[in-house]
Structure 1
């Protein structure tokens, strides 16, 4: 489970310049589940409840409730020593909150995503992982390409440091009311194991983007193995 506080009072315009843009507030609590169906197959589920507000000029938007929910299936397709490759298919079901980045809350229709994951262990103390995805959106909303990168280093038996980046690009040209965009976030966190649980705390920021909100966030996660 992750609790996140996300704020922004500027945005990136079409030339990647920061400009004043009212404010964006998002408080979110999300539950994420991975359940092994077999030695190679895993079910993944994510459900998020949000309280979101957006003010921009004379426009104001707010919502409370579920954001887009995700349900998917991941299959390990290759493994050699400390290297693992997987594929994941996910369906996204819209809710009342933020379903599509930079769009009105509650807007957005069904979406589907195909994701490839490649992880490499670095001895007993670290790992690196890359995930690339293509997200198809129904209706007027633009399809997206995504790239997530993670590096983790175990400082002690219980403490770990994680550095991550999350990037998304729209892969279609502007449509009426929907502008092409990209957004890139960097995230740093530390985690500590407490028996079957892991506590993680971290922060993220947005160093660059185009037609996107300049977001900064703090989060606290509790993970439990079962």
Structure 2
């Protein structure tokens, strides 16, 4: 089975977190207030070139991400996605490549975020989460249906730069459930308000494999950048238009993506 990376995390959660993090003073380092809810619906179109061959697949994904403030310091989150993957697969019978399309759930996860401190323009939090097994994309650099059940711990720190502008860093360790290795992830975000109705958001998403036994696993790393426009859609609502591209990689796919999203806060 062809090997291909997750959209991330961080991982694909990156695209979803991108929209979530755009909400004023509500980046990952800022927990939701008790009873507050936010829902993020995204649609993504991704093209990926494997590390060891020509273009083999494309992916379309519809995903829903939700957060709920259990208390002022504790926020619960979850994500559910439907993926459609189109791949070029070599057929021995046809002696040619054939197009194979598969639709499945994938990239699903849930967890809890706990605020550590919030003082003036600074905030920090720690997040614990897990992924779930499915027949879709569950883990970085693996085939469809592989992995799931991974555990992740993520530290977040952010600083408000204006009413809507902010900068944030997230550092995470993800432990693969069925392998004795993990991943280090680093996500950076900056939002700049252009005017009263439009923001520009720049992000980078990085991942490095940490192999305890390099003779059993192939190491990999990847770095992607995303640029988005965020438009005010009225009370509690934001619209997103973003593009994402791989800027450096080692043993991972070269990815390009177009992302559309809408976020609503209650």
Task: Indicate whether the TM-score tops 0.5.
Answer: yes
Q: Are the equivalent residues in 2 in contact too, given 1:21–1:57 (CA < 8 A)?
A: no
When the two structures are superposed, what TM-score results if normalisation uses the length of structure 1? 0.90
Q: CA deviation at 1:97?
A: 0.8
Aligned counterpart, 2:251: 211
Aligned counterpart, 1:29: 62
Secondary structure of 1:110's counterpart equals: coil
Q: Deviations over 1:15-42 (max 9, x none)?
A: xxxxx42322110011011111111111
Of 28, 44, 54, which residue of structure 1 is paired with 2:77?
A: 44
Q: CA deviation at 1:190?
A: 0.4
Of 28, 31, 55, which residue of structure 1 is paired with 2:88?
A: 55
When the two structures are superposed, what TM-score results if normalisation uses the length of structure 2? 0.77
Q: Are the equivalent residues in 2 in contact too, given 1:22–1:57 (CA < 8 A)?
A: no
Q: Tell me the C-alpha RMSD between the 2 structures.
A: 1.9
Number of equivalent positions: 218
Q: Matches of 1:56 and 1:219 in 2, distance apart?
A: 26
1:173-192 correspondence to structure 2 within 5 Å: 173-174=213-214, 176=216, 178-192=217-231
4+ long deviations beyond 6 Å = 58-61
Q: Deviations over 1:22-77 (max 9, x none)?
A: 32211001101111111111111111110013336669875311103111100110
Q: Are the equivalent residues in 1 in contact too, given 2:68–2:75 (CA < 8 A)?
A: yes
Higher strand content, 1 or 2: 1
Q: Are the equivalent residues in 1 in contact too, given 2:134–2:148 (CA < 8 A)?
A: no
After the TM superposition, which of the residue ranges 42-51 and 57-66 deviates more from structure 2? Answer: 57-66
Larger relative contact order (C-alpha < 8 A, sep ≥ 6)?
2
Q: Matches of 2:81 and 2:58 in 1, distance apart?
A: 15
1:224 has 2:257 as partner: no
Secondary structure of 2:55's counterpart equals: strand
* Stretches of structure 1 lacking an aligned partner (at least 5 in a row): 14-19
Of 204, 227, 238, which residue of structure 2 is paired with 1:165?
A: 204
After the TM superposition, which of the residue ranges 51-60 and 125-134 deviates more from structure 2? Answer: 51-60
After the TM superposition, which of the residue ranges 65-74 and 81-90 deviates more from structure 2? Answer: 65-74
Q: CA deviation at 1:174?
A: 3.4
Change in Cα spacing, 1:143 to 1:54, as seen in structure 2 (3 Å) is farther
